[in-house]
């Protein structure tokens, strides 16, 4: 059964799930967790462990982390930053399935002016993330689907982060897509949104400045879904009957001390069953735990 979705663009809380006919006989599930902001303070490890336990209970095929695994390495400090990535890497071993990580702005090492380390440090910018997790952009295949994990970040001359897919990556993306059949369903993962309603709804927001270049490369491919994070905001959209996007809220909420933008802390579970793909946003229980414990 094919459900015709008439709404082109739906923001924030309008739909808890969606379904669409896709060209695949495979069945699998995967989880999308974004903006974990892991640190030893604020009982963040307790909350992250709750998310890990919830995901393991659901037993998806794999986990996609949408960026900002830790908080924060942009201000440098080698010892502190290494401890944060080590904490995340060790805790993420608790997942009973593979984890694919996306680089987020808070995962860029030493990029701020106040950092004691500078551009000469081997871990600068992407270096620390790469040392712990490998490439900042890559692709993989799963049961007939092609997943593309993008790096949507770079650094400005005045030492701030900017939202862009840099030129070398665009060259890589073109070559990657040349190896993908036009009918293969594609999922794109990015930390900074490629498309979002937040600017229109709230008057502020952020998205990739050259998003159109990415979408142009995907024009003749079977793009099904864009997964994105960064703005701690839950939304769903269907763009011109071409592709869907989900902005996946956050695990940490407002720095582990409550909701941000009134978006409940949680993650997205995506199910592919035969030719139907559905999603739901799941609460991992942190808000109730935090209130119960008075944290």
φ/ψ region of 159 (left if φ > 0, alpha if ψ in -120 to 50, else beta) reads left
Spatial contact of 5 and 238, defined as CB atoms under 8 Å apart: yes
Q: Identify the weakest region by mean pLDDT among 20-29, 41-50, 245-254, 262-271.
A: 20-29
Q: How far apart are CA 257 and CA 180, in angstroms?
A: 43
Q: How far apart are CA 194 and CA 171, in angstroms?
A: 18
pLDDT at 15: 39
Supply the pTM of this predicted model. 0.92
Q: Does residue 196 register a pLDDT over 50?
A: yes
9-293: CATH class = alpha beta
Q: What is the pLDDT of residues 25-67, one digit of tens each?
A: 579 999 999 999 999 999 999 999 999 999 999 999 999 999 9
């Amino acid at each position: 059964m094919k459900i015709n979705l008439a709404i082109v663009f739906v923001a924030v809380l309008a739909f808890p799930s969606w379904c669409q006919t896709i060209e695949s006989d495979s069945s699998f599930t995967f989880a999308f967790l974004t903006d974990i902001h892991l640190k030893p303070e604020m009982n963040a490890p307790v909350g992250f462990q709750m998310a890990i336990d919830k995901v393991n209970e659901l037993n998806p095929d794999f986990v996609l982390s949408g960026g900002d695994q830790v908080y924060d390495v942009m201000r440098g400090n080698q010892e502190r930053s290494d401890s944060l990535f080590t904490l995340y890497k060790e805790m993420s071993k608790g997942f009973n399935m593979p984890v694919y990580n996306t680089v987020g702005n808070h995962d860029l090492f030493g990029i701020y002016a106040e950092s004691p380390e500078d551009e000469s440090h081997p871990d600068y910018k992407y270096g620390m993330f790469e040392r712990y997790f490998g490439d900042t952009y890559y692709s993989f295949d799963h049961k007939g689907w092609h997943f593309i994990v993008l790096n949507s970040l770079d650094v400005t001359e005045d030492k701030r982060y900017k939202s862009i897919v840099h030129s070398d990556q665009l060259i890589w993306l073109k070559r990657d897509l040349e190896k993908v059949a036009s009918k293969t369903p594609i999922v794109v993962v990015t930390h900074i949104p490629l498309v979002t309603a937040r600017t229109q709804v709230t008057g502020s927001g952020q998205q990739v400045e050259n998003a159109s270049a990415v979408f142009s490369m995907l024009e003749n491919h079977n793009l099904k879904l864009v997964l994105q994070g960064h703005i701690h905001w839950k939304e769903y959209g269907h763009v011109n009957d071409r592709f869907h996007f989900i902005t996946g809220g956050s695990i940490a909420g407002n720095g582990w001390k409550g909701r941000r933008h009134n978006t409940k802390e949680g993650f997205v579970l995506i199910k592919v069953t035969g030719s139907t793909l559905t999603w739901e946003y799941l609460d991992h229980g942190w808000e109730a735990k935090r209130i119960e414990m008075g944290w």
